[in-house]
Amino acid sequence: MDRALFWGVSRVAPGVKTGLNAAGAKRSEPENLGSNYWMKASVDGLIAMADGRPNAAAHIWLAAAGEMPLSAPLRAAANNNVGIAHLIRANRQEASRHLALAQQQWASTRESIASLDAPIATRSSAFHLRLAIDHHEAFTGIRRRRLKELSAGAEAITAWNGQIALASEAGGNAMRADQSMIDALAAAYGPQCPDIQILSEPSMTDGVLKAYRSKADALTRSGPRLHLDSEGGAADIECAARITVLLHSGLLAGSPFNETGTTR
């Protein structure tokens, strides 16, 4: 089967790299990610970003827009990534629409967590599974708190992208993340996460590109354990939070970086 068709990527002008491996993915990555379509599209787009090809990333996510997931958190992640694809292409109205949808869907997800069945991961040890059975309410509370942290992190990323859309409409891209956003990202993904690394760079640097590749690598490693519930359950929230991409404003259409393709 044609690899571009397998990924839902349409033909584009010569010179624009699209599809898995065209963006630099490792041969093992498709197998590691299983059948999660949006996980695959997110990883491939991130690899394109890391390769200094934001327009290829935008093409991948826009092509994937026809495969919108069913659950609210996964739709939130998909709409966020489609939104930043429109931003890269300077389609600000469509970008704002998708990012607003994503924020609404994350808000809905956050409200649903209080009543969500959030079981301990089946990959846990027998000891931890026994503890979870004996202390069900306590473990459910811990799991729900973790899902709230992940949702808050993804919401913060989506809100940041929405602010970039507003700033670009006003003719400026310079923005700084406040401490509350950094705290939300650290709680969700860890204090050394790629998203915080991207935010720490006010201009495009190799560090930004490496952070995008690092996020793609982390998704590839975690892919096999992110089994989706398909009804908006705990696994959907964890997966969605991890595939939500933060945009560095240096990748916007019209920036010197975007036009030249790479700083390296």
pLDDT in tens, 178-204: 899 999 999 999 999 999 999 998 888
| Amino acid at residue number 243 | I
Q: Alpha-carbon Rg of the chain, whole angstroms?
A: 18
- Give dist(CA 21, CA 32) in Å, integer: 14
Using the 8-state DSSP alphabet, how is residue 202 labeled?
S
> Above pLDDT 70, what percent of the chain?
68
- Which of 67, 29, 71 has its CA nearest to residue 46? 29
> Among the listed ranges 43-47, 165-169, 255-259, which one has the minimum average pLDDT value?
255-259
Q: What angle do CA 61, 230, 100 make, to 5 degrees?
A: 45
- Give dist(CA 252, CA 208) in Å, integer: 14
3-state secondary structure of 21: coil
Give the list of residues 6+ apart from residue 187 with CB closer than 8 angstroms, or none.
Answer: 149, 152, 153
What's residue 264's pLDDT? Answer: 37
pLDDT tops 50 at residue 261: no
125-149, pLDDT tens digit by residue? Answer: 555 555 555 445 666 778 889 999 9
73 and 109 in contact (C-beta within 8 Å)?
A: yes
180-190 b/e (C-beta count within 10 Å ≥ 16 → b): ebbebbbbbbe
pTM across the whole model = 0.79
Average pLDDT over residues 215-244: 81
